[in-house]
Amino acid sequence: MKRFFSLIAAVALSAGLIELSVASAAQAPQLPTMEAGEISTSYGYLTDNFYKKVDPQVVLDSVRTQLLGAMRTAGVKHAELPAMHASDAASSNVRSIDREIEVADAESKSKFTLHDLTYVALDGMMKSVSDRYTVFMSPKEFAGLNQGLDGGDFGGTGIVIQIDDKTKYISVENVVPNGPADKAGIEQDDLITTIDGASTKGMSLAAASGKLRGKEGTKVTLTVTRDGAAPSPPITITRAKIHQLSVYEKMLPGKIGYIALTVFGRDTGSELDTALDRLQKQGARALVLDLRDNGGGYLEAAVAVSSKFISSGPIVSVESRASNVTTLDADDTAINPLPLVVLVNGYTASASEITSGAIQDSSVGTIMGTKTFGKGVVQTIIPLPDGSAIKVTTARYLTPRNRDINHLGITPDVVVSENKHPQFGQPSKDEQLAHALQYLDDKLAHQTLEDGG
């Protein structure tokens, strides 16, 4: 199952045009307090904190261009706006943007609200620095980002499922710790043979998931079989609120623990603690940390994850526009060392690359797979009062050996190509994982010989 914040306007205009623009501005309603505050906050943060020097004139020109583009797209005939001229005073530039929005509103004749045009201006402001990661996010986009990073909630049993290749029944890929299924005794690799009396043989994942999920407090009855034994007596599970996890673990053959991270969210560090504890109690002799297709997340989560494998020393250095460098060290939460492979690919990015780079530079594990994405910059998210937000690139980061991997990526220690249509986490259908298991088996065997075993 493959998975998971310059356009130059004309300097001179005719006197008549200037007078017309001033008159239009005078007739336009004043920008409301909230919208004016969002413009001021966003302009100030972008120009003060973007990791490269920002030209105020380019910001103003970009705002004007976006407003004009929106007006023309909406069918405003002969759309025109006055050119704005940057001042050394940020407050003057902010007021220029406010007036431009007010004029655009008057000229658009009710095709937009002032709120709509504020969003257009904020988008233009962020686009001015030509950085793909510096963006304005609407409330819906910001909420989506938060849910992607922090996980959503749903009513269910807390079972991650897959189709068993041999029997075609639904198999238990993973069990959410302390969830209803976990408390009922359901375990990884159990086969669910019936759900509420309906056989799961040949059932699709979507259909099975639909039957397992449901309103909190409702019940679902399963029969399961374990290790080829006869099906169990019916097991009734009461659905509860399940929080979507960012960390999934299971034990693979040879007592090699497998941990997949889908994102670096707020709870990823604590979820990883739980996963590692469960694997250690099951006797894990080595670990695979799967960061493939993980697009990153919070910097703090990257430090927390890296610190589970690196006992001391630097994890990452963060360099701001003023060349101020802050080095973040391991937080003294490392587990006892085990042979470790980190799986990466071209979609391993950002916080995932911080962890991969820290593990590689600290020589506590082997990076395996294909070259990573190459996102070596850090964004800061500034929420705005109406639920929208701006995401601004505020720094670049360096690995413990001061490598800048932006646009370069991390080259694995062992390069292994991805097979067609892999099912991540399934060694028989995941050649990179199969290679990692063989590598760790060989390493464990070598250690045994060295120890005289």
CB 368 within 8 A of CB 436: yes
**Which residue did the predictor score with more confidence, 139 or 6?**
139
pLDDT at 239 exceeding the cut of 60: yes
What is the CATH number for 362? 3.90.226.10
Q: Do 158 and 106 reside in the same domain of the chain?
A: no
Range of lowest pLDDT (25-29, 49-53, 245-249, 353-357) = 25-29
State how far the Cα of 125 lies from the Cα of 280, in Å rounded to an integer: 50
Boundary residue ending a domain (207, 227, 243): 243
The alpha-helical segments, DSSP class H, found in 307-427 are 351-362
Residue 44, token pair as written in the block:
């100030």
Q: Do 275 and 419 reside in the same domain of the chain?
A: yes
| Sign of the CA dihedral with 232 first, then 234, 238, and 243 last | positive
Q: Do 84 and 230 reside in the same domain of the chain?
A: no
Start-to-end C-alpha separation, the chain: 38
Residues 6+ apart with CB under 8 A from 406: 374, 375, 376, 377, 396
Strand partners, 290: 260, 343
Mean pLDDT of the region 99-115: 94
Domain presence at residue 384 = yes
Catalytic (active-site) positions = 350, 361, 375
pLDDT at 7 exceeding the cut of 50: no
What's the mean per-residue pLDDT of the chain? 91
CB 215 within 8 A of CB 222: no
Q: Dihedral of the CA atoms 445, 448, 449, 451 (nearest 10)? A: 160
Check residue 450 and give its pLDDT. 75
pLDDT at 27 exceeding the cut of 80: no
Tens digit of pLDDT for each residue in 286-320? Answer: 999 999 999 999 999 999 999 999 999 999 999 99
Boundary residue ending a domain (216, 243, 270): 243
Check residue 264 and give its pLDDT. 97
Q: Do 385 and 368 reside in the same domain of the chain?
A: yes
Q: Residue 283 corresponds to which amino acid?
A: G
Q: Do 258 and 290 reside in the same domain of the chain?
A: yes
Within 13 A of 442's CA, how many CA atoms are on the CB side? 7
The pLDDT > 90 percentage for the chain reads: 81
Domain presence at residue 324 = yes
Within 13 A of 191's CA, how many CA atoms are on the CB side? 20
| Cα-based angle 410, 416, 421 (whole degrees, multiple of 5) | 110
Q: Do 417 and 343 reside in the same domain of the chain?
A: yes
Task: Please report where in the chains the tokens 């991969």 appear, as a residue.
Answer: 356
pLDDT at 167 exceeding the cut of 70: yes
Domain range for 167: 154-243
Domain presence at residue 235 = yes
Q: Do 113 and 158 reside in the same domain of the chain?
A: no
Boundary residue ending a domain (208, 243, 278): 243
Tens digit of pLDDT for each residue in 50-67? Answer: 999 999 999 999 999 999
Domain presence at residue 349 = yes
pLDDT grade, residue 153 (50/70/90)?
A: confident
Residue 280, token pair as written in the block:
């250690």
Q: Do 283 and 387 reside in the same domain of the chain?
A: yes
Q: Do 258 and 372 reside in the same domain of the chain?
A: yes
Q: Residue 42 corresponds to which amino acid?
A: S
Q: Do 174 and 197 reside in the same domain of the chain?
A: yes
Domain presence at residue 41 = yes
User: What are the angstrom distances between the C-alpha of 104 and each of 18, 73, 111, 112, 388?
Assistant: 15, 13, 10, 9, 21
Domain presence at residue 102 = yes
What is the CATH number for 175? 2.30.42.10
Domain presence at residue 139 = no
Check residue 308 and give its pLDDT. 98
Q: Do 120 and 196 reside in the same domain of the chain?
A: no
Domain presence at residue 148 = no
Residues 6+ apart with CB under 8 A from 80: 17, 68, 107
Q: Do 262 and 408 reside in the same domain of the chain?
A: yes
- Give the highest mean pLDDT range of 14-18, 203-207, 376-380: 376-380
State how far the Cα of 144 lies from the Cα of 413, in Å rounded to an integer: 35
pTM of the predicted structure, to 2 decimals: 0.84
Residues 6+ apart with CB under 8 A from 262: 3, 4, 245, 246, 247, 248, 293, 294
pLDDT at 439 exceeding the cut of 90: yes
The total number of structural domains that make up the chain: 3
